[in-house]
Amino acid sequence: GQCVSVCPTAALTVVNDIPNVWEALNAKDKFVIVQTAPAVRVALGEKFGAEPGTVVTGKMVAALRMLGFDKVFDTDFAADLTIMEEATEFIHRLQHGGRLPILTSCCPGWVKFFEHQFNDLLDIPSTCKSPHEMFGVIAKTYYAEKMGIDPKNIFVVSIMPCLAKKYEAARPELKHDDMQDVDAVLTTRELGDMLREANIDLMNLRDEEFDEPLGESTGASVIFGTTGGVIEAALRTAYEWLTNETLEKVEFHELRGFDGIKEAVIKINDQDINIAVAHGLGNARKLLEDIRAGKSHYHAIEIMACPGGCIGGGGQPYHFGNFDVLKKRMEGIYKEDQSKKFRKSHENPAIKKLYEEYLGEPYGEKAHELLHTYYVKRKKM
Q: Which stretch binds ligand SF4 (CB under 6 A): 97-105, 157-165, 228-236, 246-254?
A: 157-165
Q: What's the rounded Cα separation, in Å, for the pair 141 and 46?
A: 35
Please identify, using beta-carbon distances, which residue of 215 and 280 lies nearer to ligand SF4: 280
Active-site choice (105, 126, 296, 345): 126
Q: Which of 38, 109, 228, 280 binds ligand SF4 (CB under 6 A)?
A: 109
310 is catalytic: yes
Please identify, using beta-carbon distances, which residue of 83 and 305 lies nearer to ligand SF4: 305
Please identify, using beta-carbon distances, which residue of 103 and 305 lies nearer to ligand SF4: 305
Please identify, using beta-carbon distances, which residue of 62 and 156 lies nearer to ligand SF4: 156
Burial label for 72, CB within 10 Å (0-12, 13-18, 19+), is: buried
Q: What's the rounded Cα separation, in Å, for the pair 359 and 357?
A: 7
Q: What's the rounded Cα separation, in Å, for the pair 301 and 263?
A: 9
Query: For residue 116, what are the contacts with CB-CB under 8 A and spacing of at least 6?
Result: 378, 379, 380, 381
CB atoms < 10 A from the CB of 29, how many?
8
309 binds ligand SF4 (CB under 6 A): yes
Q: What's the rounded Cα separation, in Å, for the pair 287 and 86?
A: 20
Q: Which of 42, 182, 306, 326 binds ligand SF4 (CB under 6 A)?
A: 306
Site for ligand SF4 in 165-184 (CB under 6 A): 165
Q: Which stretch binds ligand SF4 (CB under 6 A): 77-85, 108-116, 150-158, 270-278?
A: 108-116
Q: Which of 100, 194, 288, 310 binds ligand SF4 (CB under 6 A)?
A: 310
Q: Which stretch binds ligand SF4 (CB under 6 A): 18-26, 245-253, 303-311, 317-325?
A: 303-311
Distance set, CA 181 to CA 53, 222, 281 (Å): 30, 22, 27
Q: How far is the CB of 16 from ligand SF4 (least distance, A)?
A: 17
Please identify, using beta-carbon distances, which residue of 187 and 217 lies nearer to ligand SF4: 187
Q: Which of 14, 43, 63, 107 binds ligand SF4 (CB under 6 A)?
A: 107
CB of 21 closer than 8 Å to CB of 299: no
173 is catalytic: yes
126 is catalytic: yes
CB atoms < 10 A from the CB of 66, how many?
15
Q: Which of 84, 137, 138, 162 binds ligand SF4 (CB under 6 A)?
A: 162
Q: What's the rounded Cα separation, in Å, for the pair 190 and 67?
A: 13
Q: How far is the CB of 168 from ligand SF4 (least distance, A)?
A: 8
Active-site choice (7, 106, 162, 306): 106
Give the per-residue contact string, 110-149, with ligand SF4 (x = CB under 6 A; - = no): x---------------------------------------
The CA radius of gyration of the chain, in Å to the nearest whole number, is: 19
Q: Which stretch binds ligand SF4 (CB under 6 A): 107-115, 134-142, 265-273, 336-344?
A: 107-115
115 is catalytic: no
304 binds ligand SF4 (CB under 6 A): yes
Q: How far is the CB of 115 from ligand SF4 (least distance, A)?
A: 14
Please identify, using beta-carbon distances, which residue of 40 and 367 lies nearer to ligand SF4: 40
Q: Which stretch binds ligand SF4 (CB under 6 A): 11-19, 161-169, 212-220, 260-268?
A: 161-169
Q: What's the rounded Cα separation, in Å, for the pair 16 and 189?
A: 11
Catalytic residues: 86, 89, 106, 126, 165, 168, 173, 310
| Footprint of ligand SF4 (CB under 6 A) | 9, 107-110, 161-162, 164-165, 304-306, 309-310, 313
